[in-house]
Amino acid sequence: LHKEYRRQRQMCIRDSVWKDAAEQLKSSAPTNIEGMEEFVVSRVELSYNYLKSEEAKSIFRLCSCFPEDYDIPIEVLARYGWGLRCLQNVDSVEKARGRAHSVVSTLIFSYLLIDGEEEGCVKMHDVVRYVAQQIASKNKFMIKAGVELKDWPSINTFEDLTGISLMFNDIHEVHEGLECPRLQALLLQENSLLVIPDRFFQGMKDLKVLDLGGIRMVSPPSSLSFLSNLGTLSLHDCRGLGDLSLIGELSRLEILDLSESDVSEIPVSFGRLGHLRL
């Protein structure tokens, strides 16, 4: 009886620490939260380190790119994972979907993800997301998703970054001519009034995944044609799209999402997209 009492008491203490850490994460910087390192951060990092596959680690880091408490569609993870070549030994989008679901199941079993409210979606607990973003930052990801940003982030250099997630903000302008030679993923969706200069993508020639969903634009910037390594492009729910012919120059494009966008005509140049899978 004494052992059972001690076990239950320890469980209650851990639950309290998690809940307190989550509340403090929402209200302040989590630098000196009592019990944070001992009970929370170290355990999440240990669970991450014990993941056997790099696929699971990559998908876990991708999940941290989404806003707090966001229902993350597994389909989107599959498309990003395909474009970034995170999913090994899959030769079709259908197999990539199956692999993504398998990896997500592993992450749920490892208590690193939880089921989402919508079918086909997953979520990250606030505390797990905080640790995941720390891990992602070590992999040169800059993540400021859903934090009501009005301006493009000001940092010394973007040259070392491999991923940028600024989705679900209110940014109107971006810096022209950014040099991001190592950037592989750029997630800017749901910045509806964002104006992208024509030369914006010239310094991002290694980019593999680009999400511009929900942005109003007359036509994609001309520098999009520089993205010769782009594998996944989302223009989902883009209003006012005009001439899309330059997309035909993206010779390695495999996934193109134009769903719910204002597209009146498919350009003849799309016939050159010989690697398109979806």
Tens digit of each residue's pLDDT (9 = 90 or more) over 220-238: 899 999 999 999 999 999 9
- Residue range 264-277: average pLDDT? 94
Dihedral of alpha carbons 275, 271, 240, 154, sign: positive
- Tracing tokens 């592989």 back to the chain, one arrives at 184
Contact 127, 26 (CB under 8 A): no
pLDDT in tens, 156-215: 889 999 999 999 999 999 988 789 999 999 999 999 999 999 999 999 999 999 999 999
pLDDT of residue 28: 46
Which pLDDT band, with edges at 50, 70 and 90, does 219 fall under? confident
- Tracing tokens 């991923």 back to the chain, one arrives at 163
Statement: residue 31 has pLDDT above 70: no
Which pLDDT band, with edges at 50, 70 and 90, does 4 fall under? low
Q: Which residues pair with 185 in a beta bridge?
A: 163, 209
pLDDT of residue 167: 98
User: How many whole angstroms separate alpha carbon 164 and alpha carbon 264?
Assistant: 31
pLDDT of residue 240: 78
CA 206 and chain centroid, separation: 17
Q: What is the mean pLDDT of the chain?
A: 89
Burial-class residue 274 by CB neighbours within 10 Å (0-12, 13-18, 19+). exposed
3-state helix, strand, coil in the chain (%, to 5): 40, 10, 55
Higher pLDDT, 164 or 216: 164
CA 266 and chain centroid, separation: 28
How large a percentage of the chain has pLDDT more than 90? 74
Statement: residue 26 has pLDDT above 60: no
How large a percentage of the chain has pLDDT more than 70? 86
Angle between helices 126-138 and 2-27 (to 10 degrees): 70
User: How many whole angstroms separate alpha carbon 174 and alpha carbon 215?
Assistant: 13
pLDDT of residue 217: 85
pLDDT in tens, 234-261: 999 998 788 899 999 999 999 999 999 9
